[in-house]
Structure formats: structure tokens, C-alpha cells
Structure 1
Amino acid sequence: DCGDEPRGDPALWLRTVDSWPKCSNLIFEEHEYYRFLSYQFVHGDLYHLLYNMVLQAMLATPMERVHGTLTMLSLYQLCVVFAAVFAIWFDPYTTVVGASGGVYGVYGLHWANLAINFDSMKNGALSRWIRFGFLFIWAMAEFFMYLANTSPTSSHSAHVGGIFFGFCGGMLLLDNFDKSWAEKYILIPGAGIFLALIFFWSVIQLSTTWPPEEPAFASGIVHGSDDAPCCWHPLECELEPNEINSLDLSCSYMEALSCSEMKALL
């Protein structure tokens, strides 16, 4: 008979879940919309910064001399925003930093410039076919690096988003020195309509489906088959030490888990 007095040390331990701080919805919950632009000024390391600076100088300088500073600046920033939107669609649990979206957007602008001014590039040191060959080789190199996963920390979705808007936006806003009938009535209007549809679809998607389904509880994830980080994270909680008759819990985050590990744990 133990009587009315408690015996032994009081103890309580539980495991629960909480929103992982790295996945907090800063843009839409905290209304920090400036992040669509400000992320371009933050880089992972010095190599990341220098790589983007060299590419930007190499790609943007000749385009700016032909099409003007204001046009290029406007298109560059729009590419940065659209790259962020693509990252939200296809990589919602990944932190994205750097100016790569804008830099690859300028690469897309070169394709647009080649498309609308192809007939005007017959002469000169960089003829249209030399330009085409350079852009094509670059595209193939990027594709094979993606397949080989040589840059696992690169946000390929942001790169594609920048290229996509660079091409479509360039069709609309870059100077066309000799408009053909097809460019005037098919290519340019088509690019405008396509961008408008993507814009309205983006607004609907981001306003109705964000945040996406927490991957820890997503029905399509099979144990051991997914390495994506989860936006829900396990907490281990116990009573505050030396606090007798208190229900105050002390909680700490466990180590980061993949989605499949999270599901197995819970």
C-alpha cells in the first residue's frame, strides 16, 4: 500500500509534431512579399556570387547595349520574380537564394532576341547561327549537368522559371528590328496570351493551394522512397526538471528528417 504519497520521481515524456521553422510561410502568412525580389541579393557562398556575376556580365552587357538599360532591368527583375514563383510551384520545401533566376532569365532573353531578330543577324562577327550554336550547347550542357546531378544544391526550377519568362517576356518587350507577319500576328501575341494565362493560374494556385500538403502526411509517400525535407518536425517533450507538481513541458526539436523517416517515426 503506497498510501496517498507519490513514490518515485514524477515523469512525463511525449513525442508530438510542430511546424518546422525552416518551412514557415514568410511570404504569404507574414506578408513579406519583398522576398520575391530580395532573395537575389543573398548567395550561398563566394563562389555562388562570383559565378552569377561573371555570367551576368557576359550575357547581359551585349543585350543592354542593344535594347537599353531600362528594358533589360525591367525584364531582369520580372525574371527574378517568376523564377521564385516556379520554385514555389515545384520546390516548395527548398530555400532559394541567389540571382540565378535573373541570370538564366537573360539567357532566355537571348533566345527571344534570336527568335524575333533572326533575319537581322545575317552579318557581323556573331552571326545568327553562331549565336544559335552557343545557346544550344549551353542548353545541352545544363541538361546533362541536371541529369548527372553535378550541382545538387542548385534550384533547377528557379533556373527554368527564369528562362521561361526571359523567352516569353523578351518576345514582348525586346526591340524587334524587322517584324515579320508571323512574329507580329502569331509569335508575339501568343507569348503574351501564354504569359497572361500563367499569371492568372499562378494567382489561383498560390492563393488556394499554399501551403502545399505537408509531406510527412502525404498519402503518396512510401517509406524509404523520399528524401525531401518535411515541414512538420518531431518534438520531444518532458516535464521541467526539478519542478515538482508542475505541468510545464520542456520541448526540443529532433534532428531533421526526410518525409519517409518522418512517417515511419509517427
Structure 2
Amino acid sequence: MDRSSLLQLIQEQLDPENTGFIGVETFASLVHSHELPLDPAKLDMLVALAQGNDEGQVCYQELVDLISSKRSSSFKRAIANGQRALPRDVLLDETGLGIYKRFVRYVAYEILPCEMDRRWYFYQHRTCPPPVFMAAVTLTQIIVFLCYGARLNKWVLQTYHPEYMKSPLVYHPGHRARAWRFLTYMFMHVGLEQLGFNALLQLMIGVPLEMVHGILRISFLYLAGVLAGSLTVSITDMRAPLVGGSGGVYALCSAHLANVVMNWAGMRCPYKLLRMVLALVCMSSEVGRAVWLRFSPPLPASGPQPSFMAHLAGAIVGISMGLTILRSYEESLQDQCGWWVLLLSYGTFLLFAVFWNIFAYDLLGAQIPPPP
């Protein structure tokens, strides 16, 4: 029996008068007597949803959302009030799982702070579509780095090579009119160490985030950090070029760390305090290294070295916009007032940065290094 036939049968037998409510016990007996193809975990969730109802009923639309693997806002609010616990043990007690399902469970405990969210994600997770965005970005960055490394025969501090900065992907203040450079700089890197750091974080944090929250939200967050990074450099460090995907990486990392802090009691990832300290130390060290390369370059260079401001801009985007995205698992962002406030703030910043790049350089008489 397909899903539409199941829903039609339920409405005909359990709600013939179209009241909009269905008795859960009667529904459970219908499932067992007709051997209907409903996941037992979903039946558990349905029972949990009705436990707070005095009449033991559940809204028909909530039942439709449950069978369709969609969570309504009323369903999440009902579970969040603490009165409707699932009859089974926590997800960690599940036994007999394959390698991939254990990985999905690991991702659930890494990213989600609520046991209900973790169980919901675990049971409704599908392998298609896979988390292709972060994998594709990382693979492209590696390919671009290998191409330039082989061409220039240089694998560290590539920005010191004059031919490297001539790339059409690098952001340079003298090429501000070429708008694509405000995004494509994320495919270029100073050297092997910066690429390795960014690729590692993108795969370790970005892929699990994309698995849970989807490609649209995570790609938007990553690209928002990248764009904010280049525009911030164009405002605060007007002479400096820019390479590397650190703006997007720091947006993802800061959003995840902020989400862990905000939901500290509910997070069940192991050694969370130690891991957070290590992450902050590594991120701070990377920023410190970028500052050192910007103001005290170890080798003579023909012009200013890449700016470090993209790191800070990405972190700000992650803590503000990213935190809202990660706290809204399976809920529509459009229904949240805070989301529109953040979008308006980000749009205002973009508009200001565009006018700054058009007019401020000439009005301030900025001494821009000649483009390569």
C-alpha cells in the first residue's frame, strides 16, 4: 500500500466525520491488523505526540506530516515541552547497526542537542542527496592548488610567486570591478598548510552539518561567510589582496561552536570541552599566522600579503546568521522574525560594501598597489 492509499484509509476509517483528530490507540490497532507499512519508530513518535493530549488524540495534519517525514512546528513544540517522551531508550542504545547507520548516529550526536531531534534525524535520514557541496568545494580547492603548485613548482607561500597573484580567481583591490573575484578567491590558498587546515575543517564539520541541515542552508552559510570576508577586506584593509576559503570555514566552525555552547547540556558529543578548546586554539593559531604573514612576511614580496580580516568576518557571520540556521532544524526559517532581521542586516552590509567599493577608494585617495 502506498502512502496516499494509507492516508485515505486512515481518514475513512478513523475520521469519517472529518473532525481533524484521530485516536492514536485505534490508529495503532489499524496499523497492526492491516499490516500497514509504517516505520515502528514513527508509530512510537505518534504515541509520544498524543501523550500530552487529554483525549489521546492527534491532529490529522500532524499524522500526515509524520508519515511524510515532515515535522510541523506544532509537533516540535509538543515534543519540546518535555511531557511527551518516547517509550524507547536513547538512540545510543540502538544495537545491530551497520557501519553507515553508526556514522549517521555519530553525526546526529555531533550536531543535534535534543534526543528527539537526534532520533528523528536518524530514522528519516536518506543517503540521497549526499552532502555534495562541501565535498565539491574541497575537491575543487585541492585541484586548483595542485594545478598551480605543479605550474609554479611551489607548494608553500605561493602568494610570494609573482605569477600566482595574476590568477583570475584571486581577489585584488585593483580588480574590484571583476565581481566574481569576491567569491572565487576561496579556491586559492597561500600554501599547503592553509589548504590542509581549511580542507580538514570543511570535511570534519561542514559535511556533518550538511548531512543534517541540508545543502541549501549550509551552502548559503558558507558562501555568506566567503562574501562577507572579501567585502570586509575591501573596507578595512583596502590595500590587501585575499586568498583562501577561511571566511566560509570560520562561518561554519563558529556557528557550530556557538550552537554547542548555547545547547551545552543537551549535546552528547564525547569530550566536548576538550574538543572545543582544541578547536579554538587551532582557529586562533591560524588567525595569528595570517596576521604574521600580513604584517611581517618572512620573505620579500612585491606587494602587500593577503589579509586576515576574512577570518574574523566569517566568524561574525557564523555566530549571528549561522547560529540561527543551526538552531532551526526541520523548521522553516521564513517563519522566524529573527531570521529576517539577520537577512536585513546582512543585506544592508552588502549594500554598504558595494557603495564603498564604488566611491570610497577614490574619495579617500587609497594608494592601491598596482594589480599584477
TM-score normalised over the length of structure 2: 0.42
Query: Who is 1:47 aligned against?
Result: 193
Matched, 1:26 2:175: yes
Preserved contact between residue 226 and residue 245 of structure 2 (Cα < 8 Å):
yes
SS of residue matched to 1:210: helix
Q: CA deviation at 1:49?
A: 2.2
CA distance in 2, matches of 1:154, 1:209: 21
Q: Structure 2: which amino acid aligns with 1:213?
A: L
Alignment partner, residue 266 of structure 2 = 122
The reply on whether 1:197 has 2:341 as its aligned counterpart is no
The structure 1 segments of at least 4 consecutive aligned residues displaced by more than 6 Å after TM superposition are: 21-24
Q: Measured at CA, do residues 211 and 159 of structure 1 come closer, stay the same or move farther in structure 2, by a change above 3 Å?
A: farther
State how 1:1-266 maps to structure 2 within 5 Å: 25-28=174-177, 32-114=178-260, 118=263, 122-126=266-270, 133=277, 136-138=280-282, 141=285, 149=292, 153=305, 155-177=307-329, 188=339, 190-211=341-362, 213-215=364-366, 231=369
Counterpart residue type for residue 26 of structure 1? H
Cα 1:91–1:111 change in 2 (3 A) is same
2:192, 2:248 → 1: CA distance?
Answer: 18
What is the distance in 2 between the residues matched to 1:24 and 1:154? 11
Q: Write the distance in 1 (CA, Å) between the matches of 2:289 and 2:275.
A: 21
Q: Which has the higher contact order (CA 8 A, sep 6+)?
A: 1
Give 1:89 deviation, angstroms. 0.9
**Whole-angstrom distance in 2 between the partners of 1:139 and 1:56:** 13
Q: CA deviation digits over 1:34-93, x for unaligned, max 9?
A: 111211112233333223212222221222222122321222122111111011111221
RMSD after superposition: 3.8
CA 114–206 in structure 1, closer or farther in 2 if over 3 Å, else same: farther
The whole-number CA distance in structure 1 between the counterparts of 2:238 and 2:211 is 37
Residue 114 of structure 1, CA deviation = 3.5
Matched letter for residue 125 of structure 1 = C
Give yes or no for contact 1:25–1:211 (8 Å, CA) kept in 2: no
Identity %: 23
CA contact 1:49–1:98 (8 Å) conserved in 2? yes
Deviations 1:15-49 (A, max 9, x none): xxxxxx99773232xxx211112111122333332
Give me the whole-angstrom Cα distance separating, in 2, the residues matched to 1:140 and 1:23.
25
User: What is the aligned residue count?
Assistant: 190
Q: Distance in 2 between matches of 1:190 and 1:112?
A: 19
Q: Which runs of 5+ in 2 are unaligned?
A: 1-165, 298-304
Render the CA deviation track for 1:192-229: whole Å, top value 9, x for unaligned: 4432332332233223213563455xxxxxxxxxxxxx
Greater strand content: 1
**Residue 124 of structure 2: aligned partner:** none
Superposed displacement of residue 122, structure 1: 1.4
